[in-house]
Chain A
Amino acid sequence: MAEEKVDSADYWKANVRLIMGCLAVWAFVSYGLAILLRPLVAFVPIGGTDLGFWFAQQGSILTFIALIFFYAWKMNKLDQKFGLEE
């Protein structure tokens, strides 16, 4: 019983760590590359415009999709590792 408690606390910590990692990427592509850092990456040309514009209208959405699937996949593995899968 006591052991299980420790396990599930680790599970939650691992989940929170994973979320923070994913949200860092989430913020970096949208608020970072697409908005605040856009002038800094403007030297990278993409089809008639710059990298920041591409991230604002395409890249961030594609990254968001990848992030959710990555998170779902990692959490499934975590569920299994801690024996918490349904």
Chain B
Amino acid sequence: MSQFAINLLFVGASFALYIGIAVWARAGSTKDFYVAGGGVHPITNGMATAADWMSAASFISMAGLLAAGGYANSSFLMGWTGGYVILAMLLAPYLRKFGKFTVPDFIGDRFYSTTARTVAVACLIIASVTYVIGQMTGAGVAFSRFLEVSNTWGIWIAATIVFLYAVFGGMKGITYTQVAQYVVLIIAYTIPAVFIAFQLTGNPIPMFGMFSTHTESGMPLLEKLSEVLVELGFQDYAADVDNKLNMVLFTLSLMVGTAGLPHVIIRFFTVPKVADARWSAGWALVFIALLYLTAPAVASMARLNLLTTVYPDTAGQVENYEEALANPILYEDRPDWFRTWEETGLITFEDKNDDGRIQYYNDRNEDFAETAAERGWEGSELSVNNDILVLANPEIANLPPWVIGLIAAGGIAAALSTAAGLLLAISSAISHDLIKKTINPNISEKGEMLAARISMAGAILLATYLGLNPPGFAAQVVALAFGIAGASLFPALMMGIFSKRVNDKGAIAGMLAGLISTLLYIFTYLGWFFFSGTNMLPNEPESWFLGISPLSFGAVGAMINFAVAFAVSNMTEEPPQEIQELVESVRYPKGAGGAVDH
């Protein structure tokens, strides 16, 4: 069977499974549609949350980011997991106790204001729409790479599948497909990682293999990696960062952004009890950690693998690197996986010094230029896309074709599960918060359900359109999603629970201050609305205010939000008595109520 047929079989089988679940889990009521009936087991919800959270970027790109940045990119690991600690302790249980359907629902009720609700809806939609673009393009890329269809067709197929289970099943359909998608993606991620860890270190558990001995050289794996990297002018893999303030703020921004992303928060509305929301956050992190603890191992091992493929003499014990690096692989002798991925353009070779061999090193390191010149190197001849580390892993490790089929299904599962969660957050904010709570409070249950389905269909069409015509700034907008969620929604939600004093005016002023300050800071360096050339300052560390990168500003925006909200609230009147009672009631689990789906 050809690789194409195997890929088709795996992806087709996974789609049949998702559609089967869609038929079985149709939504019968708005409660089914918004919160899956509220009867999801905490472990099931943990698994669904993990799939909801782990996007195409986590699955395909994160290991590449870690491999390229080494220690400096650890922020992604800590930020995208540490957010669950604050979610579990500061938000999830109380919002579950509140017992409504959406995130703006809480903000609107707690701050007794339609304006606050509308601001929250706006923040939610900007954050979620920007985020969903990446998922649609990710699905398109996965399709085109593995199933030989065009990008456009790939996006349309993805949209159709999501349409089937999201429009009919709502949160109920999404929950159970996400569970299936989690299983597919974690198996796909883990199997190649186990093989690579075993080949390189003899230890089959990647997270331990990473810190054990590299069999061929007899050195600790990370030490070996750093040694080869430094000889090629790259940075030591474990090198410390100089700008610690920025690293702290970037990590914190990712954490509060994670905790404030509505599509993650609403997953915790689906469990029966407050205590379940707490446990469920723990389980979610366990399932996420299975991938996030493996990713750094994949990163370091794949990077070492790549280097020793290009410079075969460096693999074992090396006495003299000058000699070991003198014989890089002949381009003619490049391995099969190299040839396969050359066709996709993810890995390219240009023989700059015409010696027929591949020289790969850091040609942007000025201190290294002299050494390179002495060696007769005229520039690095290999450019490697970061994504290749995960995608080509099975081939680099010589794994059988079905593992590649699994990776194809896994990448698509990661993109679809996150897209569906985001689309639900968007459509419920429209049908519930805008239509039911703001425009037409008298709408019937049936009418709201129809509105929810139409909003979902509309959101999918919008996401498909944006996926087909991605704005040029698609890569940067993910930072915007985290910045907005962290700087506007997270502080408002937290103050709504932990302070009885913050009132409508304070919350609105705070959200707007957090949102606008974050937008202004990002636009200053990345261009107004991301149009290139319109930035007022160059996006370089030297010109960043106090060395804070635009991607790290979400945390500062959140602090501005807190400060403004408290200041304005203290200058204005206390919230009314019934709101103070509402705050009391979300703090205590008893009487969380809500129909439990037995």
Interface residues of A (CB under 8 A from B): 8, 11-12, 15-16, 19, 22-23, 26, 30-31, 34-36, 38-39, 46-50, 52-54, 56-58, 60-62, 64-65, 67-69, 71-72, 75-76, 79, 83-86
Contact, CB under 8 Å: B275 / A75: yes
Residues of chain B contacted by A39 (CB below 8 angstroms): 240
**Is B296 a contact of A58 with CB atoms below 8 Å?**
yes
Residues of chain A contacted by B244 (CB below 8 angstroms):
35-36
B89 A86 Cβ-Cβ under 8 A: no
Residues in A neighbouring B147, C-beta threshold 8 A: none
The interface residues of chain B lying within 8 Å CB-to-CB of A47 are: 210-212, 220-222
B587 close to chain A: CB less than 8 A:
yes
Task: Determine how close the nearest CB of chain B comes to the CB of A58; give it in whole angstroms.
Answer: 6
The reply to whether B275 and A86 form a contact with Cβ atoms under 8 Å apart is: yes
Given A64-B85, A71-B88: A49 in contact with B238 (beta carbons within 8 A): yes
A67 touches B293 (CB 8 A): no
| B593, closest chain A residue (CB) | A86
- Determine if A19 and B90 form an interchain contact, defined as CB atoms under 8 angstroms apart: yes
Q: Is the CB of B211 within 8 A of A54?
A: yes
Q: Are A57 and B220 in contact, CB atoms less than 8 angstroms apart?
A: no
B222 contacts A48, CB within 8 Å? yes
Closest to B286 in A: A65
Chain A interface helix/strand/loop/mixed: helix
Q: In the complex the two chains form, is B82's CB within 8 Å of A49's CB?
A: no
Cβ-defined partner of A49 (8 Å) among B89, B211, B289, B587: B211
Contact segment of B73-81, B104-112, B382-390: B73-81
Give A48 to B214 CA distance when docked, in angstroms.
10
Check B282 against A68 for contact (C-beta < 8 Å).
yes
B588 near A84 (CB under 8 angstroms)? Answer: yes
Known: A22-B89, A68-B278. 11 other contacts (CB 8 A): A34-B74, A49-B220, A56-B77, A62-B293, A64-B82, A64-B85, A67-B85, A68-B88, A71-B89, A71-B278, A79-B589
Chain B residues within 8 Å of A83, by CB? 590
- How long is the Cα–Cα vector from A19 to B270 in the complex, in angstroms? 23
Taking beta carbons and an 8 Å cutoff, which residues of B are in contact with A?
66, 71, 74, 77-78, 81-82, 84-86, 88-90, 93, 207, 210-212, 219-224, 238, 240, 244, 247-248, 251-252, 273-275, 278-279, 281-282, 285-286, 289, 292-293, 296, 498, 584, 587-592
Residues of chain A lying within 8 A (CB to CB) of residue B78? 30, 34, 56, 60-61
Chain B: minimal CB distance from A50 (Å): 7
Cβ-defined contact, A58 with B207, below 8 A = yes
State the majority secondary structure of interface residues on B. helix
On chain A, the residues within 8 Å of B279 by CB distance are: 69, 72
Does B273 contact A86, Cβ atoms closer than 8 Å? Answer: yes
A36 touches B248 (CB 8 A): yes
Q: Is the CB of B88 within 8 A of A48?
A: no
- Nearest CB of A to B523, in Å: 28
A11 / chain B contacts, CB cutoff of 8 Å: 588
A79 near B275: Cβ-Cβ < 8 Å: yes
Q: Are B588 and A68 in contact (CB under 8 A)?
A: no
Across the two chains, which residue of chain A brings its CB closest to B282? Answer: A68
Closest Cβ neighbor of A68 among chain B residues: B282
Contacts known (A19-B89, A58-B296, A61-B78); A35 close to B589, Cβ less than 8 A: no
Determine whether the beta carbon of A68 is less than 8 Å from that of B285. Answer: yes
With a CB–CB cut-off of 8 A, which chain B residues contact A30? 78, 82, 251
Q: What are 7 contact pairs spanning A and B, CB under 8 A? A: A15-B587, A48-B222, A52-B240, A53-B222, A58-B207, A86-B591, A86-B592
Query: Which residues of chain A come closer than 8 Å to B224, judged between CB atoms?
Result: 48
Say whether B293 contacts A61, CB under 8 Å: yes
B320 CB → nearest A CB, Å: 21
B296's closest neighbor in chain A, by CB?
A57
Contacts of A86 in B (CB 8 A): 273-275, 589-592
Cα–Cα, bound, A36→B74 (Å): 13
Cα A34 to Cα B86 in complex, Å, equals: 18
User: A60, A83, A86 — which one has the most chain B CB atoms within 10 A of its CB?
Assistant: A86
Complex interface: chain A residues within 8 A of B90 (CB): 19
Contacting residues, chain A, for B220 (C-beta < 8 A)? 47-49
- What distance in Å separates the Cβ of A36 from its nearest Cβ neighbour in chain B? 6
A8 to B, closest residue via Cβ: B588
Q: Which residues of the partner chain B approach A22 to less than 8 Å between Cβ atoms?
A: 85, 89
B71 & A56 in contact (Cβ 8 Å cutoff): yes
A8, A35, A50, A72: the one within 8 Å of B247 (CB): A35
A85 contacts B590, C-beta separation under 8 Å: yes
- Collect the chain B residues with CB atoms within 8 Å of residue A62's CB: 289, 293
Q: Inside 8 A of B247's CB, which chain A residues have their CB?
A: 35
CB contact between B77 and one of A38, A61, A75 (< 8 Å): that residue: A61
Contact indicator A72/B74 (Cβ below 8 Å): no
Smallest Cβ-Cβ distance to B210: which chain A residue: A47
Query: CA separation between A67 and B90, bound complex, in Å?
Result: 13
CB-nearest residue of chain B to A20: B89
Find chain B residues with CB under 8 A from A84 CB. Answer: 588-590
B282 touching A65, Cβ below 8 Å? yes
The residue on B at minimum CB distance from A74 is B278
Bound Cα distance A84, B589 (Å): 6
Cβ of B427 to closest chain A Cβ, rounded Å: 29
B93, B222, B244, B273 — most chain A CB neighbours (10 Å) = B222
Q: Which residues of B contact A8 (CB under 8 A)?
A: 584, 587-588
